[in-house]
Structure 1
Amino acid sequence: MKKTVLALLMLVSFTHAEKIYATFDVSAQKSANLAFTASGIVKQVNVDIGSVVKKNQTLASLDNDDIKAMLEKTKIVYKYAKRELARQEKIKKLIDASKYDKVLSNYENAKASVAYQQALYNKTILKAPFEGVIYDKSIEVGDAVSGMMLKTVFKIQSLRERKLILEFDQKYHGVVKVGQTFEYRVDGDNKAYKGVISKVYPYADFKNRKMRAEVKAKDFTVGLFGDGYIIVDGK
């Protein structure tokens, strides 16, 4: 009889799911601090705090008339160098090799000059690296910026995509795994939510001896916190 009871207890313990307590903070799935890498005067600011932006949308630009003029000049040189190369290629067998090499060199230099000036021009335009919302701004028209001393002018975060940064006791380092269910509540919200562990950090924090994991979520306000339970299959 005792053996039967013990066997039943062991069966229950191995078939019931274990719940591991975890707390979490809500973070944006993507976030970035944006800065100009060129020097100049801010000519245009197109967004403000709370602006929803698309990937590659122009956020701000510097006064770049001089760089733009130089870019156009190099494009003209490149256009004629390309034409001359095309003409010389048609009579390549009839001309001196050194003359052809000089034409080819002029073409390659013109092409490189366009690429260089284009890169300088691109640095005067700050674009959104991904779709998101601007949540901090510290730039106005007329401000001077320096590419030698980078200063964050915008902060952007993903519009809806969030991640919950979970913390749980390190003794469960070999138990919590990707794919497990996380049942949770956000502080101030009585609704129960479910998510799936998408990432487990491969280290424990030296200060609080906690492990971390991530759960993907949507639409929560960044900075909120809550708690819940990681469901571990006991089989």
Structure 2
Amino acid sequence: MNSNAELLRQLKIDKSHKDTPGGGNGGGMRTVWIVLAVVLALLALAGGGWVFLARRPVEVRTATAVAPASAAEAGAVLQATGYVTARRQATVSAQITGTLTEVLIEEGDRVSKGQVLARLEDNALRANLQSAQASAAAAHATVAQSEAQLTQALRDADRQEALVGRGLVSRQLAEQARTQADTYRAQLQTARRQAGAADAQVGVAQVNLDYTVVRAPFDGVITDKAAQVGEIVSPLSAGGGFTRTGVGTIVDMDSLEIDVDVNEAYIGRVQADMPAEAVLDAYPDWKIPAHVIAIVPAADRGKATVKVRVALEAKDARIVPDMGVRVSFLERRAPTASAAPKGVMVPAAAIVQRDGHDVVFIVADGHARRHDVTAAAASGDLRLVTTGVNAGDTVIVSPPDDLADGNAVQPAKPAP
């Protein structure tokens, strides 16, 4: 009992000690405040870490939604590569040698038939034309003079014939008058022929002058500008000099087609008028309907290939010469053949249930965006989605159960 009473006395607060700034109780209070500050700091760090972890992008597996294969693709019997070519193109040049004074074209310009593309220096040829025109005018004046002389000679001859009939002059004078009229008639014929020759010279001079103007031979697009003002152009090779042989190249874009080389071992699968589908290397998602024009009856011994001409059934400004292209030769199908289904194909694992709906998460600007979709038929590991997703969208495969709309995501790195 004594020991218990002793313990109770030790637990009593000694009120004789007062709080002083330097006392023991003051040090205890500071310790409490320090502990409290440390606890608050730890809580702040924990909260910041939680926020950082919550905002850190979630690594997800992704895939690209693709358009479903069409009936045409399913019926491809052969594929070959080739290039877009123009059946109608020309390097335009002057028909005479001369110095360029104007070049009115640039690459990419559309021109029409007869449009002026360039002009050559024409002072000498213009002077020749003027000289020829003056000579022609003089020749026609001579014709007019000969016509007047013939008219007068015919009247004199008729008058002499009348006087001979009345016996007033001799027959000799009448014959001389008639001979003079015949002479003027012959001179008139000569003058007319000389006038015709002078007119021909005018025509030659005009043609030579027209040769100084370079015109477009057909409608098309300028693909190359080969000469500049001040350069000499000639229809003949300059033999290594600085003379240009062309002003520019013009291409008729309506004549574009495809030339493909088909391995001779498979050429038997290709037939004239066979349907085809072309895909440009520059636009891999653009399928262009086409058909076979002809199989060129010649083989390349070195490459063991046969050239096939393929017509493009749709023309577009994006198609330009020398583009690489892949051609799929298709089977002939009945008119009732099914067309490609509407929608896109996505991995089946990309479609999940949320709130009783089929949804797909699409990656946009580094965030997951929830899209309600309408899913249709499955094809292996893929499933057709008819609404909610477009071809080319990046979808998340097997999204986590806690993934929500707007969460930051990043594609998972492939395994090494």
Q: Given the two structures, how large is their TM-score scaled by the length of structure 2? A: 0.46
Distance 2:137 2:274 in 1: 60
Q: Which residue of 2 aligns with 1:44?
A: 102
Per-residue CA distance 1:103-157 (angstroms, 9 max, x = gap): 2331331132122212211221111111112121132222233454362221121
| Unaligned runs of at least 5 residues, structure 2 | 1-74, 155-180, 239-243, 334-416
Pair 1:167 & 2:261 matched: yes
Q: Which residue of 2 aligns with 1:226?
A: 325
Displacement of 1:82? 5.2
Is the 2:83–2:323 contact (alpha carbons within 8 Å) kept by the matching residues of 1?
yes
Q: Which entry has the higher C-alpha Rg, 1 or 2?
A: 2
Counting only pairs closer than 5 Å after superposition, residues 86-235 of structure 1 correspond to structure 2 as 95-96=182-183, 98-148=186-236, 149=238, 151-159=245-253, 161-171=255-265, 173=267, 176-189=270-283, 190-217=285-312, 218-219=315-316, 220-231=319-330, 233=332
Is the 1:176–1:232 contact (alpha carbons within 8 Å) kept by the matching residues of 2?
no
Distance 1:203 1:132 in 2: 30
Distance 1:175 1:18 in 2: 11
User: How many residues are aligned here?
Assistant: 219
Per-residue CA distance 1:12-56 (angstroms, 9 max, x = gap): xxxxx7723322201234211122232222111111222221111
Q: 1:49 is paired with a residue of what secondary structure? A: coil
Q: 2:124 is paired with a residue of what secondary structure? A: helix
| Unaligned runs of at least 5 residues, structure 1 | 1-16
Displacement of 1:61? 0.6
Q: 1:55 is paired with a residue of what secondary structure? A: coil
The percentage of counterpart residues that share the same residue type is: 22
Change (3 A) 1:120 1:207: same
Displacement of 1:57? 0.8
**Pick from 74, 77, 80: which aligns with 2:135?**
77
Is the 2:295–2:309 contact (alpha carbons within 8 Å) kept by the matching residues of 1?
yes
Task: Give the alignment's Cα RMSD to 1 decimal.
Answer: 3.1
Structure having the larger proportion of residues in strand: 1
Distance 1:89 1:24 in 2: 72
Judge which range, 39-48 or 146-155, deviates more.
Answer: 146-155
Displacement of 1:76? 4.1
Is the 1:52–1:159 contact (alpha carbons within 8 Å) kept by the matching residues of 2?
no
**Pick from 124, 131, 138: which aligns with 1:66?**
124
Q: 2:119 is paired with a residue of what secondary structure? A: strand
Highest RCO, 1 vs 2 (Cα 8 Å, sep ≥ 6): 1
